[in-house]
């Protein structure tokens, strides 16, 4: 398989037509090797316009969704980012290419190890993957310039909003099947937030331990 040709086609035929036009985002999608974060059994689908299964109901999102997320966050090289749901580590790799540091929380120990291994092999050293329940964020290392929840929520937990810096952005997929909204929440001042609905999609719900007080 010609990975470079497939990557180019992914950007030009899937991502750009979805109004992802920020050149830095497009360059990042061309640079970070998506195929190295895809399970071997599905590597031939690395650039397809589909969700790629990671097991236990978790997935890699479609490339166009990843591109929209990255563009909406408008990251700067000085930004500190929190990701909820590491998956294969690919989104963390994209975020890390545009930010100063990424902290990613993954509840599934298998995916925690997978993500960290993929990031290590890609020699991306400004990401740390931590095993745990991300529904309450990672307040000890906050506040953050950006928070990404790479799974569906019924609503955004207040605990996550409280970990945004003024001017910080949170992107999450809100709602229930058959349609969810990708929403960008901006902290415009301490305790004040503005929400913009970006597009509709459908993603798996955020996993939570059986004893969690949160219901997603």
pLDDT tens-digit map of 118-169: 999 999 999 999 999 998 899 999 999 999 999 999 999 999 999 999 999 9
pLDDT value at residue 177:
86
Q: What is the Cα–Cα distance from 156 to 160, expressed in whole angstroms?
A: 7
pLDDT value at residue 54:
95
Counting as low any pLDDT under 50, the low residues of the chain are 210-216
pLDDT value at residue 1:
78
Would you give the end-to-end CA distance of the chain in angstroms?
A: 39
Q: Convert 70-85 to b/e letters by CB count within 10 Å (16 or more is b).
A: bbbbebeeebbbbbbb
CATH of 3-201, one of 3.40.50.300, 3.40.50.150, 3.10.20.740, 1.10.150.130: 3.40.50.150
pLDDT value at residue 215:
42
Q: Tokens 């995916």 appear where?
A: 111
């Amino acid at each position: 398989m010609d990975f470079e040709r497939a990557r180019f086609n992914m950007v030009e035929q899937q991502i750009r037509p979805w109004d992802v036009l920020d050149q830095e985002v497009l360059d990042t999608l061309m640079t970070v090797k998506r195929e190295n974060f895809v399970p071997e059994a599905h590597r031939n689908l690395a650039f397809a316009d589909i969700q790629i299964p990671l097991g236990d109901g978790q997935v890699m999102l479609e490339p166009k969704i990843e591109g929209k997320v990255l563009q909406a966050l408008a990251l700067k090289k000085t930004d500190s980012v929190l990701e909820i749901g590491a998956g294969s580590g690919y989104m963390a790799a994209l975020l890390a290419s545009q930010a100063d540091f990424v902290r990613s929380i993954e509840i599934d120990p298998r995916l925690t190890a997978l993500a960290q291994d993929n990031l290590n092999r890609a020699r991306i050293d400004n990401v740390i993957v931590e095993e745990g329940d991300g529904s309450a964020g990672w307040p000890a290392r906050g506040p953050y310039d950006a928070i990404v929840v790479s799974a569906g929520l019924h609503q955004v937990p207040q605990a996550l909003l409280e970990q945004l810096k003024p001017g910080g952005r949170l992107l999450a997929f809100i709602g229930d099947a058959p349609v969810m909204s990708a929403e960008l929440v901006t902290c415009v001042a301490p305790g004040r937030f503005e929400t913009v609905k970006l597009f509709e999609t459908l993603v798996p719900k955020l996993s939570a331990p059986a004893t969690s007080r949160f219901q997603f």
